Amino acid sequence: TGMDFQGLNISNLHVTGGVTDFLPVAWDLNYTGLETATEDVFYSNDNNFTWVKFNSLSATNTTTSGNATLDVRNLPAGYYTITVYGYAPDTGDATAMLVQEVTGGAGKSAYIRIQ
């Protein structure tokens, strides 16, 4: 028919290691368009009221995955929602979300032991 259908799908967002000072995440990407796709990575730690972008990646139709690392050393302990938002000029947008508890970071107890 001469019609091409481009698609963008982000799936399998997951934590790739232990969460201490850093929160490493990875995801699968399926982009069949002909342009450059952008993947913006955000976090929220206030029940999704505010979002902070901490990474941005570019992808082509040969890119099959992405990854990012959130530095939590200066962030309070709690539950963090990670969102990957992908978009390209020739297809619809795609998102994936993950909720992860962070117990390290600025929420760690600091103490001095005197004997």
Burial of 97 (0-12, 13-18, 19+ CB in 10 A): middle
pLDDT in tens, 57-107: 999 999 999 999 999 999 999 999 999 999 999 999 999 999 999 986 655
The answer regarding whether domain 8-103 maps to CATH 2.60.40.10 reads yes
pLDDT in tens, 25-54: 999 999 999 999 999 999 999 999 999 999
Model pTM score? 0.85
HSE at residue 5, side-chain half, CA atoms within 13 A, is: 2
